[in-house]
């Protein structure tokens, strides 16, 4: 029987993704190592105290390649994945580190302070076109002409409810 190992966090990147933390492993798969800060408030007596926890996250494959230009310090992201424990021994001393392996990463928020789009906003990446995307979602583009209402089945526009079509009687029969 398999146990449950599932993590969902929202936090801010603690540093820009640089060449030291981004690369390709032996089998050609892309890897990005990032660190996020997750803020939490807890009650200490009568006061609320803010507490920050830092987590290392590993993003693999195409997702790591696609997100590389957007993983900058301070950017808010949502991470869904699982915990992975690495153990090793050095000079007779045992070490252990728990990291998060991401299954899904989403960019959150709108535009950053630099004015660049938060998600896929350059060229034809993402969902196509030059629309600005926030958090990977398409930007709202209102239709230039409102859609004409269409009624299907059973509706007769000549039926009047209380007299002249479009006119309502003051007496409601219920």
pLDDT averaged over 10-residue windows placed end to end, the chain, 174 residues? 94 94 92 95 91 96 94 95 96 96 90 42 34 41 47 48 54 60
**Report field, pTM of the whole predicted structure over 0.75:** no
CA distance 79 to 100: 9
3-state secondary structure of 64: helix
3-state secondary structure of 62: helix
Residue 109 is predicted with a pLDDT of: 76
Residue 141 is predicted with a pLDDT of: 45
Pairing of strands 93-107, 47-60: parallel
**Do 9 and 36 form a contact (C-beta atoms < 8 A)?**
yes
Residue 110 is predicted with a pLDDT of: 58
């Amino acid at each position: 029987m398999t146990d449950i190992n599932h993590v969902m966090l929202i936090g801010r990147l603690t540093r820009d993704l640089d060449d030291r933390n981004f690369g390709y492993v032996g089998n050609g798969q892309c890897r990005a190592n990032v660190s996020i800060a997750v803020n939490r408030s807890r009650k200490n007596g009568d006061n609320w105290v803010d507490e920050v926890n830092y987590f290392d996250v590993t993003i693999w494959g195409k997702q790591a390649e696609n997100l590389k230009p957007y993983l900058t310090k301070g950017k808010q992201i949502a991470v869904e994945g699982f915990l992975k424990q690495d153990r090793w021994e050095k000079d007779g001393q045992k070490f252990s580190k728990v990291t998060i392996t991401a299954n899904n990463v989403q960019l959150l928020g709108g535009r950053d302070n630099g004015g660049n789009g938060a998600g896929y906003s350059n060229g034809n990446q993402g969902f196509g076109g030059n629309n600005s995307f926030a958090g990977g979602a398409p930007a709202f583009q209102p239709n230039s002409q409102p859609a004409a209402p269409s009624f299907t089945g059973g509706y007769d526009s000549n039926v009047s409810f209380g007299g002249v079509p479009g006119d309502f009687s003051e007496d409601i029969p219920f």
